[in-house]
Structure 1
Amino acid sequence: MKLRIISSSIVVAVLLLSGCTTQPEGTATTVKVLSEPSANVKGLIEKFKLENVDYAYVKQAIGNGTREGAKALLIDARPNPKYLASTIPSSINIPDTQIDKFIGQLDKVAKDKEIIVFCGGWDCEKSPIVAGHLKEKGFTNVKLYQAGEPEWISKNYPEIGLPAAQAIFKNNSAVFMDARPYAKYMAGTIPGALYMSDEEVDKLKGRLPADKATPIVSFCEGYSCAKSHNLAKKLQEFGYQKISVYAGGYPEWKEAGQLTTAGGAKKVEVATTPKKDVFVEGVKLGEDEGSVDGEWYKALIVSDKIPANVAVVDVRTAGEFANGHIKGAINIEAGKLNAKDLAAKLPKGKVVIFNCSAGGRSMEAFMKLKDAKIDVSKILYFDANIKCDKSGKCDIKVNEPLG
């Protein structure tokens, strides 16, 4: 469902560095701030019989901020450059002037899926136009958030696209924070990024900027990774005012050919004896400590041939799990449990393989047990980007080994 078009002409740094701050008291302004639809917008709402929802409703609808974790599908009806500069987390983009070009993102979306369309505020006609088009296409649960992106960023953090992240990096105008596990951070990150795992932020908060108005960009393992959103919420609790989430994260940054810390000296090619495959009760181990061999395990999932002695444990939230998971998996939200309680909930007498949506949380679940001196000889994690539908059909991209 991801479709992002990069425009080289957009100026993004100034647009997003206002963060989620509100206008200071006493600031003179001649702009009238609307709190209800303009006459033209009201006419479109009535024409298409659209229900308008408020900020609190949308905040609940986006779930954990990822596309897989959202309870509703959010659609930004503004032009693509605006969307890439700042949007509501989990949103996709269908500009009102390019509906035919972008509508393919909805080809596999159920007609009764809840959809919330927004644009640039109360006087913006783009959202009711797109919403009306969707109703004409047979979508039956279409709503508006007419206050739109302006209200959202006055109260909460925005999601930004690659062009915005590039502009911020080039201008050194924000602190990048990597919310992934430390092993992934050390294997490669955006240059200058601060390690700030969402799981360890309370321990690491002494590293945070003293000035709460410092712009911060949180990122992790891509669009399915919730860790950057979790970190953003933590930073909000600490009082930071200018937070953005770069949802494409390190995978998109790397794929786009941007600078990373993973360069270093070139490896000298030395002829070596091929490594012997290692198995634990028939399960092939990966190169990284605690990992299952990704391609080997992926082939079993795709062919529906996961061995009977393997327990597939999805460590995401119940909401994410309900939206689609590997066939036969059970759900144990590892992030909410200490090591002892997590170990107690695991199936006995089987090889346990953790998975999540991008690899980070499954690795952390494994490390949580290992660090607590719990026997992990039959506990592994699957390092991959995974997107499954409710039938159990999964699109899987195995992440490269860290070592």
Structure 2
Amino acid sequence: MKTKMILRSLVVVGLLSTGAIANDPGNLTKPSPKVQGMIDKFKLKVVDYKYAKGKVAKGTRNGAKALLIDARPNKKYMTGTIPSSLNIPDTDYAKYVGQLKDVPKNKEILVYCGGWKCGKSPKVANMLKKDGFTNVKLYQAGEPEWKKKNYREVGLAVIKSAQAKNSAVIIDARPYKKYLAETIPGAIAIPDTKVEELKGRFPVNHSQKVITFCGGYKCVKSHNIAKKLISMGYKDVSVFAAGMPAWKKAGLATTKSASKAKSKSDTPKKPMMSKNGLKLGPDEGSVDGYWFDKLIKADKVPSYVQIVDVTSAEEFKSGHLKGAINISAEPLKANELYAKLPKGKTIVFNCTAGGRSIEAWQKLKDANLDVSEVYYFDANIDCKGNDCKIEVNEPLE
């Protein structure tokens, strides 16, 4: 009898310990000890994906049932966020919190960032509580979990790049007359009211990148199409929620009018190599992510490059890129960070999701320090020791 009880206990423990893994293979499914400490200290409630999805509701800013706050850097927010979200980076809280000046203090707010290891969301949630907001919660699984399960909202730079490179199917969800009058060049018309009869226009490949748009932040039509695509099994679906009004306001070409934007040919091209020979990415301050990823995996990072992991000492100790050194950038002032960088090297910042490396670089640039040989690697990096899984983030430009 005693043996049977022990076996039953082992089975139960096994089921409990593997249940989270079954739902999200290979990923952390609870806060890291550091983040959990912040959650406990600030007395924050953590909600799950189902809860967050219910609050996103229609996906529009006026249709969401709660206010969602993305605590990541603005560049990460613009690349892709949870629909209806506003951006309040933890490092620029004072600059961005003004967006909430007319929000009632009892409004339900869900704060998130780059996943279970990300401490930005509890920091912002605590700041909001200190500012008098009384109903603040965390969706700590954040943007990484949402991205796997649902569509995202993207900014102007993303759809502009996709349109220029023909790298996505762009769908105009507005009525067909609106489409005929004026649309984004290359977009196809699938009005949300005609989706059943026109769904044959959706791409055959369910992994194809798709971006929908309509008449702006209050327009639900693009969200309706995006939800339909997700229900049909499409994996890479985004909504350009700012829509046609933002595209036109930016002076970009439409099927009706000539572009007022400055031609790329009139703009001096940025050098694609650093002075020391580092291949640069299209985003200012970035290293070419795919090129750098190949060098890391082949163990051929040039000797003139020093990778600087800007995460905390605790995170660095648990795993980091081979050859990296650790300088935790967040608590340091720009001059302090700059003074700690190795001299005579081309510096490449990295972190776990790209956000903190971008911030470290921006901190130096904003202080007018010489960043001519300082760059960042924008990638999701998950390391156990020096065994690292790297997923390069798509550039904005």
TM-score range, shorter chain: 0.5 to 0.7
Amino acid in the other structure paired with 1:349: G
- Give the C-alpha shift of residue 108 in structure 1: 9.8
| Structure 2 partner of 1:17 | none
| Structure 2 partner of 1:313 | 308
- Give the C-alpha shift of residue 198 in structure 1: 0.5
| Structure 1 partner of 2:147 | 254
| 1:172 maps to 2:59 | no
Alignment check: 8 A CA contact 2:111 2:138 kept: yes
- Give the C-alpha shift of residue 371 in structure 1: 1.1
1-structure distance, mates of 2:285, 2:41? 43
- Give the C-alpha shift of residue 250 in structure 1: 2.8
| Structure 1 partner of 2:80 | 188
2-structure distance, mates of 1:95, 1:198? 40
| Structure 1 partner of 2:389 | 395
2-structure distance, mates of 1:104, 1:251? 15
Kindly provide the CA deviation profile for residues 104-123 of structure 1, in whole angstroms up to 9, marking residues without a partner as x.
68x999xxxxx99xxxxxxx
Kindly provide the CA deviation profile for residues 203-255 of structure 1, in whole angstroms up to 9, marking residues without a partner as x.
33333365433211112233443322322233333343322222333343334
Distance 1:230 1:302, change over 3 A: farther
2-structure distance, mates of 1:232, 1:367? 23
1:204 aligns to what SS in structure 2?
A: helix
Q: TM-score, normalised by structure 1?
A: 0.58
| Structure 2 partner of 1:324 | 319
2:330 aligns to what SS in structure 1?
A: helix
Distance 1:98 1:154, change over 3 A: same
- Give the C-alpha shift of residue 350 in structure 1: 0.3
| Structure 2 partner of 1:202 | 94
- Give the C-alpha shift of residue 99 in structure 1: 4.1
1:353 aligns to what SS in structure 2?
A: strand
1:163 aligns to what SS in structure 2?
A: helix
Distance 1:257 1:103, change over 3 A: closer
Flag structure 2 segments of 5+ consecutive residues without an equivalent: 34-38, 58-62, 168-263
Flag structure 1 segments of 5+ consecutive residues without an equivalent: 1-46, 49-93, 110-114, 117-151
| 1:232 maps to 2:125 | yes
Task: Give the superposed CA RMSD.
Answer: 3.8
| Structure 1 partner of 2:277 | 282
- 1:109-128 aligned at under 5 Å gives the runs none
Task: Decide which structure has greater helix share.
Answer: 2
2-structure distance, mates of 1:329, 1:269? 34
Kindly provide the CA deviation profile for residues 178-200 of structure 1, in whole angstroms up to 9, marking residues without a partner as x.
11111222333233211100001
Kindly provide the CA deviation profile for residues 111-162 of structure 1, in whole angstroms up to 9, marking residues without a partner as x.
xxxx99xxxxxxxxxxxxxxxxxxxxxxxxxxxxxxxxxxx89972233332
Distance 1:95 1:386, change over 3 A: farther
Percent identity among equivalent residues? 41
Alignment check: 8 A CA contact 1:315 1:361 kept: yes
Counterpart of 2:163 (choices 246, 267, 274) is 267
Larger mean Cα displacement after TM superposition, 163-172 or 259-268? 259-268
1-structure distance, mates of 2:284, 2:164? 23
Alignment check: 8 A CA contact 2:309 2:324 kept: yes
Amino acid in the other structure paired with 1:188: G
Kindly provide the CA deviation profile for residues 293-334 of structure 1, in whole angstroms up to 9, marking residues without a partner as x.
112111222222222111111111111111111122111111
| 1:294 maps to 2:187 | no
2-structure distance, mates of 1:338, 1:220? 23
Q: TM-score, normalised by structure 2?
A: 0.59
Alignment check: 8 A CA contact 2:287 2:348 kept: yes
1:334 aligns to what SS in structure 2?
A: coil
Larger mean Cα displacement after TM superposition, 257-266 or 234-243? 257-266
Alignment check: 8 A CA contact 2:281 2:289 kept: yes
- Give the C-alpha shift of residue 344 in structure 1: 0.9
2-structure distance, mates of 1:154, 1:364? 25
Kindly provide the CA deviation profile for residues 251-280 of structure 1, in whole angstroms up to 9, marking residues without a partner as x.
43334332513485772568999x995344
| Structure 1 partner of 2:173 | none
2:302 aligns to what SS in structure 1?
A: coil
Kindly provide the CA deviation profile for residues 31-67 of structure 1, in whole angstroms up to 9, marking residues without a partner as x.
xxxxxxxxxxxxxxxx99xxxxxxxxxxxxxxxxxxx
- 1:94-109 aligned at under 5 Å gives the runs 98-99=15-16, 102=19
Counterpart of 2:111 (choices 202, 218, 224) is 218
| Structure 2 partner of 1:4 | none
Distance 1:235 1:104, change over 3 A: closer
Alignment check: 8 A CA contact 1:219 1:246 kept: yes
| Structure 1 partner of 2:334 | 339
Figure out how many residues of one structure are paired with residues of the other and give that number.
272
Alignment check: 8 A CA contact 1:287 1:401 kept: yes
Alignment check: 8 A CA contact 2:113 2:142 kept: yes
2-structure distance, mates of 1:160, 1:203? 27
2:337 aligns to what SS in structure 1?
A: helix
| Structure 1 partner of 2:50 | 163
| Structure 2 partner of 1:14 | none
2-structure distance, mates of 1:349, 1:276? 20
Q: Higher relative CO (CA 8 A, sep ≥ 6), structure 1 or 2?
A: 1
1-structure distance, mates of 2:17, 2:117? 26
| Structure 1 partner of 2:184 | none
| 1:364 maps to 2:359 | yes
